[in-house]
Amino acid sequence: MRQKLNLITLGVKELAVSLAFYRDGLGWEPSNASQNSIIFFDLGGVGLALYPRNLLAEDITVSAEGTGFSGITLAHNAKSIEEVDAVLSKAEKAGAKIIKKAQNVFWGGYSGYFADPDGHLWEVAWNPMISFDEKDALIL
């Protein structure tokens, strides 16, 4: 796995309220990659996404309530489906618990989730709508 953090996804209760905070309150400009159900911000090579908390928990296959889900996932964007599988395998061998095996997902990509030894949730995903620049920085 490359030593790279690409995307931070925050599970939010009300997308409109969160969008207003970041866009109007902080003056951040949403990326053109944003859609009705997800908002992206380019943070200079790292992306921040706002996504409904209940939908994020559903995607991971954990409860949106309780101690199993904090409302935040860290994402590592792979450059291929094969890389997703390789990274998940490497993480598991390093002691991670696979939470959701890699699979084709509703938004057109391929992803899976693991929990690190402290329970922090990581998504490993290949997204056909995302590319990287010459410095391996995420382009939204």
Whether 90 is in a domain gets the answer yes
pLDDT of 93 reads 92
Give the tokens for residue 82: 């094969």
Q: Measuring CA to CA, how many Å separate 31 from each of 27, 34, 77, 97, 101? A: 13, 6, 17, 32, 29
Whether 2 is in a domain gets the answer no
Q: What is the distance between the alpha carbons of residues 50 and 47, in angstroms, rounded to a whole number?
A: 10
pLDDT of 66 reads 63
Q: Which residues of the chain have pLDDT under 50?
A: none
Domain CATH code at residue 60: 3.10.180.10
Domain that holds residue 128: 7-139
pLDDT of 98 reads 97
pLDDT of 67 reads 66
Q: How many domains does the chain have?
A: 1
Whether 49 is in a domain gets the answer yes
Whether 1 is in a domain gets the answer no
